[in-house]
Amino acid sequence: MPFIAPTDRATRWSFFLQWLKNPMGVAAVSPSSPQLARQMIAALPSGTTRIIELGGGTGAITEQLLLHGIPPQQLMVLELNEAMHQTLRQRFPDIRLHLANATDVHRLATESGFLHEAQADAIVSGLGLLSMPKPLQRDIVSEAFACLRPDGRFVQFTYGPASPVAREVLDELKLTARRVSFTWWNVPPATVYVYERQRSTAVPAQPMGRRSA
């Protein structure tokens, strides 16, 4: 079996306890809903097979990624909370799981061999970027994009009304942001954003011939 699914009640209770212990470090009071997870999966690039997940929590999105068909060894998950990390280890014994900070994602992906075969197609994130200072946002997003193929995507959900990554960070890293979906069926309601590298527009070649003065 690729993973073990606990009861929904047990998962939510575990998540809520961790939120009570560290409300600033845990982005929500309950796990992401299956509807939100499916919306994030719908935002992945076509043909995605290699994914890094930042902030695995108790595995709501991880589970949906595996059900979607992502091979466990092609899924690398980072979780900083030790209790949630243990829950993930029990549920998904075959994935590449790290108890680590998201700022270390590129180093871990490189040292563990995850990037040796190919770069990641996408990164999905449940981190509370909206509440983070801009320098920390920049560090995390920059390290994440260092793991991605040139046309890879960073898929992030947020509970706020706007992009959780600050405009200054997007401009500095030369990234674009677009809102792709919204779901009321999450507690609280959530929006999914996709971040990609800017693509320069090719300048059309000028026809050969006599130029006007």
Q: What beta strand segments (E) does the chain contain?
A: 51-54, 75-79, 96-99, 120-125, 148-158, 175-183, 190-197
pTM of the shown model: 0.79
Summarised one tens digit per residue, pLDDT across range 22-39 is: 444 444 434 457 888 889
**What average pLDDT does the chain have?**
83
What 3-state class would DSSP assign to 76? Answer: strand
Tens digit of pLDDT for each residue in 119-163? 999 999 999 999 899 999 999 999 999 999 999 999 999 887 789
In a domain? residue 205: no
The predicted pLDDT at position 161 comes to 75
Assign residue 76 the CATH number of its domain: 3.40.50.150
* Nearest Cα to Cα of residue 41 among 18, 89, 17, 75: 75
Residue 204 lies in a domain: no
The answer to the question of residue 136 being in a domain is yes
Select the more confidently predicted residue: 114 or 24: 114
Asked if residue 97 has pLDDT above 70, the reply is yes
List of residues 6+ apart from 7 with CB closer than 8 A: none
Tokens 């996709």 correspond to: 194
Q: Which domain holds residue 83?
A: 8-197
Asked whether the CA dihedral 42, 44, 47, 53 is positive or negative, the reply is negative
Number of domains in the chain: 1
The residue to which tokens 């792709």 are assigned: 180
Is 2 within a domain? no
Bridge partners, residue 120, by sequence: 148
Query: Between residues 20 and 78, which one has the greater pLDDT?
Result: 78
Is residue 178 in a domain?
A: yes
Is there a domain that residue 58 lies in? yes
In a domain, 74, yes or no: yes
189 in a domain, yes or no? yes
